[in-house]
Amino acid sequence: MNNKAQEYLKNYKTIAVYGFSKNPDKVAHSIPVFLKNRGYKVCGINPQKFEVEGIPVYQSLMEVPDEIEILNVFRPSEHCLDVVKEAVERKNLRGDIKVVWLQEGIINNEAKELAEKNGIEFVQDTCIYKIYNSLQ
């Protein structure tokens, strides 16, 4: 799994973070900022629209105007099936979203099955920050 995850980070440079947090003490804030500072184009999805360090945060996945290659998810496991349903809908409309990536500790096999059935690669229970650092 980690080899594939490493390849995704090498090959894809646009990341949307589902569950982006305003709180700088949370990893759902610090990891996206870290990735932005390493050259990735990052945006967030959160019901509260805001901006952090030049990272725009949209209220829904469909509102994101730019192409999304990796959808990095910081939501509880039980919410991930709904997130993947949104991702599949967006992929069908826009043709983007290559990978859905659930952060470390987040697992939803039903979401995995739905994503893969719809041509979306899937990573779960894997920290994007740790994978990035393993590339160095």
What are the DSSP calls for 83-119, one per residue? HHHHHHHHHHHHS---EEEEPTT---HHHHHHHHHTT
List of residues 6+ apart from 126 with CB closer than 8 A? 1, 2, 5, 101, 102, 103, 104
- The DSSP call for residue 41 is E
**The pLDDT value given to residue 87:** 98
- If you average pLDDT over every residue of the chain, what do you get? 96
**pTM value?**
0.97
Q: Note the CATH number of domain 2-134.
A: 3.40.50.720
pLDDT tops 80 at residue 95: yes
| 136 band by pLDDT with thresholds 50, 70 and 90 | confident
What count of residues does the chain have? Answer: 136
Q: Please give the structure tokens belonging to residue 81.
A: 């099936």
User: Is pLDDT above 70 for 1?
Assistant: no
Domain ranges for the chain, please list them.
Answer: 2-134
